[in-house]
Amino acid sequence: MTVTGIAGGFTRRPGLIRIARYGAYFVFAAMSTAFITMEIALLTHDFSVSYVARVGSLETPPYYTAISLWSSLEGSILFWGLILSAYGALVAFVNRKSESRLVPFAGGVMGFVGLFFYGLLTTQLNPFGEVFPVPANGPGPNPLLQNHPLMGLHPPMLYFGFVGLTVPFAFAIGALLSGKLDEEWIRSTRRWTVAAWAFLSVGIVAGAWWSYEVLGWGGYWAWDPVENASFLPWLTATAFLHSVMVQERRGMLKTWNLTLIIATFLLTLFGTFLTRSGILDSVHAFTEGIIGPLFLAFIALVMITWLDIIAWRSDRLHAPGTLDAVVSRESSFILNNLLFVAFTFTVLLGTTFPLMVEAVNGNRVSVGPPYFNMVSVPIGVMLLFLMGVGPALPWRRTTPEKMKKAFLVPVVVGLASVLLGFVVGSRSIWPLITFAFAGFVMATITQEFQKGIAARRRIAGVSAPVALRQILTINNRRYGGYVVHAGIVVIIVALAISGTYRFEREVTLQRGESMLLGDYGVRFDEIWAEQQVQRFVVGSTFTVFHRGNEVGTLKPSMNYYPNSQQPIGTPAVRSTLKEDLYLTLMAFDQEDGRHATIRAIVNPAVPWLWIGGMIVALGAILAVMPQRSSGRPAVSVAEIALSEEPAELAEEPPAVTV
């Protein structure tokens, strides 16, 4: 309601920059009002509001009521709109003193994107519709979405990521429109992009975690179309984060970078389209009519405009590339991009392949985890390898001696990792390769840090911890990036281990009976039932033994919601740093609870996925932190660097600890 027709002022062209800026603030204020109004309506159970009537219920606990704002279509679009307007206002505010020609264009593009969402909200998807007669109660949100507190984290993070990618997109289009095609658009959006990327990464990891803790199938990533929809823009955004560095340094890859970021934005739209149009079967599909065609029309508009202006600006985009040598940091970035794009292509192909086959010959096929795992493992391993090679390669060119110096220790560490893996008992080829590269990457990252610290100590004459802090604040982008890399390595290793070495057993136990699985013993104690406010829970109690010692109880359950026919299982997980014991209640004796069927899974290394995710977030936070202005200015540091004896940095082979 309040949102109507506000976006207008936002889209004005350059001459009206001031108006546009205040327009952006106003849109944000209006969206916030709408958002707060909706939250109040939800929390006060005002069932005269159509959205509340659909997702609210008196029985739902307040926390889940508050977050049910994004549990259904209209609310999630409202939330999307709020975030978009917040980004818009923030961009306007940060650049309020900017003289750049880019900003008004970018603001205009953001306003245009906003127009689409606000338009949806005020017409097709108005969550504030009136309901008469006013119902006394509502059905409550989708049971899956009120089953775990992570629902408060995972969707907002994804939205912040998705919507945040609008900013670099808007600046890219702004660059194309204004013809200002140098590196400015990249520089001015660098931190926006990293922040959006970080949100997206955290959102994806949180989503995997949620899936693991809630869906009860024992895994964390199912290559569901909607999961893929969040993964695809992540892949291209990651490629973009790397390839812009080439353009910043060498002025190359202009068209490529524009294409990447626009493709990323399109993939976020595509992801939303997949979720909302019901075009592919998915656990998450909302399948709600009209919005599909509208989204598709918007995608079409963006796609065609993009291709058209790229063609229009093609003469200005031509930038002859030069390289000093084929083996260099530049080429490792290009290879990285190639792999990321091939990865994106493959996931996109797999996701839409059923649709293509059906369009061609009417057959229905499925493309599921076995396919995706098969294709992603080799690509992932190659990327992992590059992650080790890239940062250790200098820009421009290198010499065999330097190569040897840079890679000797990492190669040794890599080989040691394989040996370690082998000794511990790993015999499968892919995990062993993964260990090798992981050790290699970790060693190069450590070396990079050591080099940085050593240089810093020599320049500023400070102690090692101080030097570490200083390189992290002065050159936060680079070292933050390495921290992110380390987090990714942790995740990849955890994926390799948990994917290969999990084992499971499904058994029907009588009361008091136990079974063994690896080091664990599980005894079935009882079945119990409990009527909770919003659901009916049938639970089971199992006593868990580890190497014969009682270590606790696990209570996997099945939850029955009034608005769902199938019970929603809640697994019970016992986590240690080494592995998870994951219990799911599959079936139980409905008459007197004398027996229960459980699926017990030992999932090694899974907690490291979440730890890795946190490391990634930490690194990303480091990388986006504003430059510290206090302390010694960086320039003088640089001057000192110049005055220093030009010593070779890696004089002594660093003692690498992994």
Partner 1 sequence: MKKKQLRWLLPLVALPILWLLYWGMGRDTYVLPSPMAGLEAPEFHLVGFDGDTLSLADLRGRVVILNFWASWCIPCRTEHPVLVQTERTWDDSEVVLLGVVYQDSRANAERFLAQYGGEWTHVLDPSQRTAIDYGVYGVPETFFIGRDGHISHKKVGPVTWDLVRYQVDSLLAVPVSSANTGSVGGTP
Partner 2 sequence: MSAMRRWLPITLVLAFSFPATAVSQEGETAPGTAAAQETEAPQTVEDDRSALTDPAEADLDARAAEVAGGLRCPVCRNQSILESNADLSREMQRVVRERLAAGETPEEVEAYFVSRYGEWILLKPQARGINLVVYALPVIVLLLGFLLARNRLRKWASAGAVETSAGATGSGSIGVEDEEWLRDALRES
**Toward partner 1, which CB reaches closer, 311 or 374?**
311
DSSP string, 127-174: TT-B-SSPPS----S-GGGGS-GGGGTHHHHHHHHHHHTHHHHHHHHH
**Toward partner 2, which CB reaches closer, 26 or 545?**
545
**Toward partner 2, which CB reaches closer, 201 or 337?**
337
- C-alpha torsion sign, points 205, 206, 210, 211: negative
Q: Please state, in angstroms and rounded to a whole number, the distance separating the CA atoms of residues 70 and 64.
A: 10
Q: Please state, in angstroms and rounded to a whole number, the distance separating the CA atoms of residues 314 and 135.
A: 58
Q: Which one of 130, 182, 308, 513 is in contact with partner 2 (CB under 8 A)?
A: 513
> Pick from partner 1, partner 2, none: which does 474 bind, CB < 5 to 8 A by kind?
partner 2
Q: How many other CB atoms are there within 10 angstroms of residue 640's CB atom?
A: 14
b/e string for 304-334 if b means 16 or more Cβ within 10 A?
Answer: eebeeeeeebeeebeeeeeeeeebbbbebbb
CB of 426 to partner 1, least distance (A): 38
Torsion of CA 129, 134, 135, 140, to 10 degrees: 30
Q: Which one of 314, 463, 510, 575 is in contact with partner 1 (CB under 8 A)?
A: 314
Residue 591 binds partner 2 (CB under 8 A) = yes
Residue 604 binds partner 2 (CB under 8 A) = no
* Residue (of 421, 431, 418) closest to 373 by Cα position: 431
String of contacts with partner 1 for each residue 550-569, x by CB under 8 A: ---------------x----
> Pick from partner 1, partner 2, none: which does 396 bind, CB < 5 to 8 A by kind?
partner 2
Residue 461, phi then psi, degrees to nearest 5: 65, 40
Kindly indicate which of the ranges 119-127, 206-214, 349-357, 411-419 contains the residues binding partner 2, using the contact rule CB under 8 A. Answer: 349-357
Residue labelled with tokens 């405009």? 305
CB of 292 to partner 1, least distance (A): 5
Residue 236 binds partner 1 (CB under 8 A) = no
Residue 505 binds partner 2 (CB under 8 A) = yes
Q: Please state, in angstroms and rounded to a whole number, the distance separating the CA atoms of residues 608 and 51.
A: 39
Q: Which one of 146, 282, 444, 450 is in contact with partner 2 (CB under 8 A)?
A: 282
CB of 599 to partner 1, least distance (A): 19
Of 369-398, binders to partner 2 (CB under 8 A) are: 369-371, 374-375, 379, 394-396, 398
Residue labelled with tokens 């065999």? 400
Kindly indicate which of the ranges 68-76, 167-175, 307-315, 327-335 contains the residues binding partner 2, using the contact rule CB under 8 A. Answer: 327-335
Query: What number of chain residues touch partner 2 (CB under 8 A)?
Result: 103
**By the 8 A CB rule, do 118 and 298 touch?**
no
The DSSP 8-state label assigned to residue 10 in this structure reads G
Residue 359 binds partner 2 (CB under 8 A) = no
Q: How many CA atoms lie within 13 A of 618 on its CB side?
A: 13
DSSP string, 274-338: HHHH--S--TT----TTHHHHHHHHHHHHHHHHHHHHHHTHHHH------S-SSSHHHHHHHHHH
Residue labelled with tokens 């930038």? 319
DSSP string, 349-375: HHHHHHHHHHHHH-------HHHHHHH
Residue 299 binds partner 1 (CB under 8 A) = yes
- C-alpha torsion sign, points 135, 137, 143, 148: positive
Q: Which one of 45, 469, 478, 574 is in contact with partner 2 (CB under 8 A)?
A: 478
Residue 37 binds partner 2 (CB under 8 A) = no
**Toward partner 1, which CB reaches closer, 305 or 543?**
305
Q: Helix, strand or coil for residue 98? A: coil
String of contacts with partner 1 for each residue 498-517, x by CB under 8 A: --------------------
> Pick from partner 2, partner 1, none: which does 375 bind, CB < 5 to 8 A by kind?
partner 2
Residue 299 binds partner 2 (CB under 8 A) = no
Kindly indicate which of the ranges 37-45, 109-117, 135-143, 473-481 contains the residues binding partner 2, using the contact rule CB under 8 A. Answer: 473-481
- C-alpha torsion sign, points 128, 283, 507, 210: negative
Q: Which one of 590, 630, 652, 657 is in contact with partner 2 (CB under 8 A)?
A: 590
Residue 281 binds partner 1 (CB under 8 A) = yes
Q: Which one of 141, 155, 164, 219 is in contact with partner 2 (CB under 8 A)?
A: 219
Residue 361 binds partner 1 (CB under 8 A) = no
Q: Which one of 153, 317, 621, 637 is in contact with partner 2 (CB under 8 A)?
A: 637
Distances (CA, A) of 142 to 64, 274, 414, 416, 535: 11, 19, 47, 49, 12
Residue 310 binds partner 1 (CB under 8 A) = yes
Q: Which one of 357, 460, 462, 618 is in contact with partner 2 (CB under 8 A)?
A: 357
CB of 347 to partner 1, least distance (A): 15
> Pick from partner 2, partner 1, none: which does 362 bind, CB < 5 to 8 A by kind?
partner 1
Residue 293 binds partner 1 (CB under 8 A) = yes
Element (H, E) at 587: strand 579-588
Residue 419 binds partner 2 (CB under 8 A) = no
Q: Which one of 365, 408, 420, 464 is in contact with partner 2 (CB under 8 A)?
A: 365
Residue 635 binds partner 2 (CB under 8 A) = yes
CA angle at 534 for the pair 530 and 535, rounded to the nearest 5°: 45
CB of 295 to partner 1, least distance (A): 9
Residue 281, phi then psi, degrees to nearest 5: -70, 135
CB of 415 to partner 1, least distance (A): 45
Residues belonging to the chain = 658
Positions that interact with partner 1 (CB under 8 A): 273, 277-281, 292-293, 296, 299-300, 303-304, 307-308, 310-312, 314-315, 352, 355-356, 358-359, 362-364, 565
